[in-house]
Amino acid sequence: MHRSALSATCLVLLALLGAGCGDEEPGGDATRPVELALDFQPNAVHAGVYTAVADGIDHDHGIDLDVRVPSSSTDSLKLLAAGRADVSIVDIHDLGLAAERGADVVGIAALVQAPLAATIVQPGIRRPGDLEGKRVGVTGLPSDDAVLRATVESDGGNYDAIDRITIGFSAVPSLAAGKVDGVVTFWNAEGVALNRQNIPTRQFRVNHYGAPRYPELILTTTRERLEADPDLYADLVATLADGTRAALADRPAAVREIVAASDSDPGLVAAQLRAVAPALRPPLRLDPATLRAWATFDVRFGILTRRPNASKLFDTDLAAR
């Protein structure tokens, strides 16, 4: 993440030759710039990204990775569509919805290997079916309703008997204050924050209740860009896979990089990384059978209106190299 200034030699060459050397490595090999848009503010799921940049792993693979932080979770796809990012990290459901609307998008790797969504509830609720007649906070995104429905119905509960309340992204304060009996949120972020605040809860992770173990966050580009330069994207996937391995091997260093990028509490970031670490393995892989199961799930629970062709929506070869 930290790049040194141009050397005096480079500046002289710029003046005399009119040619830049900022993309040249010490050995003379040029690096290719890649703009990567995150899905959200920097957090532990991005450990491999920030470690790859900080450790120069991107340069080892011949690329110069520039990380862009969006102002909202929907901006990563907008940046990709506008040509302001070469690749974006996208929620898998948003990827499916974008493709359903006709966007030229393709998933090339998985940042995490499991769903991050969960229904987190007050400790007195011992099983999902107990949510009948209770108040559950949702953000308003269609995937929240799907996660809640899958979780409750897998336990034999009546989804329609739940009082769903739109709370936006205030899951932690809403649950902590007792305004709701449960929330649909992310176990790796809000779930960790609740634990750090010593607020007693129970977690019903969706892949334990009705959903397959689908990869929540997908590295996404356009089909046009991928076909124009497949080697560049193969190098990017290899960079992030190596970055993830390095982050897991030296977690304190990975935490420092994320804290520097986000100004977050180091203890919270360290706790998030401990929680999400198992879902970061194997790094970047996409499993065709799992993706087909995800496609079926998204249609069954109303996120998508028609089943996507997973073999077309995802290119699983890059992460398998």
For 29-96, give the secondary structure using H, E and C: CECEEEEEECCCCCCHHHHHHHHHHHCCHHHHCCEEEEEECCCCCCHHHHHHHCCCCCEEEEEHHHHH
pLDDT value, residue 10: 41
pLDDT value, residue 8: 40
Q: Which of 175, 208, 241 is the last residue of a domain?
A: 208
Q: Which of 148, 176, 208 is the last residue of a domain?
A: 208
Same domain, 99 and 156: no
The number of distinct structural domains making up the chain is 3
Same domain, 223 and 309: yes
Same domain, 169 and 189: yes
Domain housing 6: 1-27
Cis peptide, bond prior to residue 282, ω within 30 of zero: yes
pLDDT value, residue 23: 54
Burial of 169 (0-12, 13-18, 19+ CB in 10 A): middle
pLDDT value, residue 73: 65
Same domain, 2 and 149: no
Q: Which of 154, 186, 208 is the last residue of a domain?
A: 208
Same domain, 240 and 263: yes
Same domain, 167 and 309: no
Q: Sign of the CA dihedral 97, 102, 103, 105?
A: positive
Instruction: Kindly report the pTM of this predicted structure.
Output: 0.89
Give residue-wise pLDDT tens across range 201-212.
Answer: 999 999 999 999
pLDDT value, residue 174: 96
Same domain, 108 and 222: yes
Give residue-wise pLDDT tens across range 268-320.
Answer: 999 999 999 999 999 999 999 999 999 999 999 999 999 999 999 999 999 87
**CATH number, position 162:** 3.40.190.10
Residue 178 in contact with residue 122, Cβ under 8 Å? Answer: yes
Same domain, 58 and 106: yes
Same domain, 130 and 197: yes
User: If phi over 0 gives left and psi between -120 and 50 gives alpha, with beta otherwise, what is residue 263?
Assistant: left
Same domain, 40 and 5: no
Mean pLDDT, contiguous 10-residue spans, the chain (321 residues): 41 38 54 96 97 98 96 84 96 96 97 98 97 96 94 97 95 96 97 96 96 97 97 98 98 98 96 98 96 97 96 92 73
Same domain, 133 and 155: yes
77's tokens: 């796809």
Same domain, 219 and 296: yes
